Amino acid sequence: MIIIGKAIKGTIVLNEKLRKPDNIKFSQQKTLLKLVKKAKKTTFGEEFDFSKILSSSDPEKSFRENVPIYDYDSIYDQWWKYLF
């Protein structure tokens, strides 16, 4: 029983460390860079100069400044309709 208790406690401590805001923000930034890198040669990526965003000293800020916020209908009308 002592081993199981220590394993559970270790899992809880690790989970708390992984959920810290700094780790969450880092994970989100890493995901943003991965997606922008993957999409940089798409029409959307070229339209909003994803290559420039990737080379920026602050890619997150550059993305916010260069890529507009779309609602579902407007992104469909401007981009997604070509896929369907």
Total-model pTM: 0.67
Q: What is the pLDDT of residues 29-72, one digit of tens each?
A: 999 999 999 999 999 999 999 999 999 999 999 999 999 999 99
In the chain, where are the structural domains located? 2-82
The DSSP line for the chain is: -HHHHHHHHHHHHHHHHHTSHHHHHHHHHHHHHHHHHHHTTSHHHHHTTHHHHHHSSSHHHHHHHHS----HHHHHHHTGGGT-
CA separation for the pair 83, 75 (Å, rounded): 12
Looking at the predicted structure, is the pLDDT value of residue 13 above 80?
no
Provide mean pLDDT across the span 21-35.
Answer: 87
pLDDT of 40: 95
